[in-house]
Chain A
Amino acid sequence: MVHSKTVIELRNVVKEYILGKTIVKALRGVSLEIKKGEFVIIMGPSGSGKSTLLHIMGALDKPTSGKVFINGKDISLFDDWNLAMLRRKNIGFVFQTFNLVPTLNALENVMLPLEPIHMDEIEKIKRAKELLKLVGLEHRMLHKPAELSGGERQRVAIARALVNDPEIILADEPTGNLDTKTGLQIINAMRELNKKENKTIVIVTHDPTLLKYATKKVYIRDGTVERMEE
């Protein structure tokens, strides 16, 4: 029985990829439990399997074996449509390269996850504006990504991840493309979300300076959890 406060649980997750004739083992039996409101940093060198782990936690990828529970539900039994619904309602993603749509302005980019949802257009705009305000970009909402700095783009991406009000935010190297000062601003913004909104934050990084902000530190190497610190 999964504890009620556990939002993500991985049990002996194995992920293998087939590259030509070679089988690459990205994860070799990872077990992990993340509770609501935790600020988790997953550390590891390049190729350690940390991004794969994040994708599996975010229901973007399925494990080769093992179980993944989100809010107590075994998502390995979900089909593509149910996985999409789970991501829509429960998970927000932030990527290293921001992945904003260049033809849309900041406001429209934030509204993207709301597009498939039946909701009043005015409500969608209101919600997106609120989030841009939250990340301090209300004054830049009509600017296109090319007109924004790296830090601003990442804040737009954070607002986009939050627009569906998910309880889990998963970030893959969110400061990787930013300078130290801007990276710190982004981490602070995420810490605030964690504290004020009680969002569960999971950040994958190889930047050890971020470790001091974590409530849980997970060290991963060669597809296994090397150690964990609370």
Chain B
Amino acid sequence: MIKLAFFNLFRRKTRTALAIFGIVISIIALIVLNAVADGIYGKLDKVIGAFQAVVVMEKGAIDQTLSKIDVDLGSKIERISGVRTVVPEIWGIPQTVDNKPLQFSQVASPVIIYGVDIAAYRKLRGSGWIGKIAKGEMLSSNDKGYVIIGKTLADNMHKFVGSVIKINGKKFRIKGIFKTESELLGNIVVMPIEDARKITGFPEGKVSSFYVELINPTEDRIIAKRINYIMGSEAEASTASDFSETFTEIIGKFRMVALAIAVMAAFVAAIGILNTMLMNIMERYKEIGTLKAAGWTSWNIMFMVLCESSFIGILAGFLGIVSGLLIAILISQFGIPALVKPESVIQAFLFAFLVGVLAGLYPAWRASRLNPVEAIRGA
């Protein structure tokens, strides 16, 4: 029965191929969009996992590169109990690196300027945003014109300790290269805060944010609340878990959009399968009548037709997953993060199978209800 159902797919190869193609598109959409969501989430998760502190930035700003707050707030935050060190920061995205503008391939992991008050940063007990220095040295307070860069950036741009890197047209000498778990943080160029202010044109008396190290890192939520209470509308404190929640929410919405696109594509594909199966059955009335004459029950007929539509789903699932994987690999070559998780593959496969089964239900029911005499006559 299963064998017959499988062979039936090859009777009208073009028709079957078109029905399969419809689902393949929706599976590719599901795999690739989920891969991008997982890829972005994986990167951000490592960034968030890299710090155990509180970040204070402008209220309502999406991230530090879009935030501007008064530098004077730093001394206010310092006085809040539970706070150990406050580090003023300027974050920015350079217009050019070594005279080259931002490339499309860098959209997902762009080079980021991180200007920091070196003296304050050196007081930190933890490593802050920067990981361990792998080569060279950390900046000191009077290291104007010097930078340290992440290993990812150093590798990508073939930079070494002592090399020169041009940011927004200004030359900086690399004093050290740091290593971090996160690919995003690996693209950071760390420089003294005043250098960052100059090359980004950041207004005087303002900074992007404050990195706030706590006496007891586990109290981050309590201290963040305390800061928010004191700051009022001036600034907003966020913890690692706040960032995590925000990103999870954004990624969750992205996933919903991905699913909606896949469902819409699958709906169209399901109509394609329905049409294919109905036409297949109409052409095989005589055969179905003969099978009924040979003692096949209505359930047997229904099972055979459902097997056929399920095979369309299974084949489409397989092809969609393989194509999706290839596309995910391809786009990751262009710097777009894409991570295909096993659960995404299983989800896509079950989705394709389900579309196949559901689209086959009506044709299977129609075939099973055929009057054997009329079917044999081919009516």
Contacts and interface: CB of A to CB of B under 8 A. Distances in A.
A85 B295 contact: yes
Q: How large is the interface on A (under 10, 10 to 19, 20 to 34, 35 or more residues)?
A: 20 to 34
Contacts of A189: none
Interface string A143-175: 000000000000000001100100000000000
Contacts of B291: 112
Interface stretch (B7-15, B120-128, B213-221): B7-15
A55 B287 CA distance: 16
Interface residues on B, range: 20 to 34
A84 B287 CA distance: 16
Nearest to B10: A103
A223 interface: no
B295 A84 contact: yes
A138 to B, nearest CB: 21
B297 A99 contact: no
B4 interface: yes
Contacts of B3: 108
A116 B293 contact: no
B290 interface: yes
Given A85-B295, A101-B4, A116-B295, A93 B290 contact: yes
B63 to A, nearest CB: 60
A103 B373 contact: no
A55 B290 CA distance: 12
B373 A93 contact: no
B238 interface: no
A115 interface: yes
Interface of A: 55, 58, 60-61, 80-81, 84-85, 87-89, 91-93, 95, 97, 99, 101-104, 108, 112-113, 115-116, 160-161, 164
24 contacts: A55-B373, A55-B376, A58-B293, A60-B376, A61-B372, A61-B373, A81-B297, A81-B298, A84-B296, A84-B297, A84-B298, A85-B295, A85-B297, A89-B295, A99-B376, A103-B4, A103-B10, A112-B291, A113-B294, A115-B4, A115-B300, A116-B296, A160-B294, A161-B294
In the complex, the 8 A-B pairs of residues with the closest C-beta atoms, listed nearest first: A88-B295, A113-B294, A99-B290, A103-B7, A84-B297, A93-B293, A116-B300, A87-B295
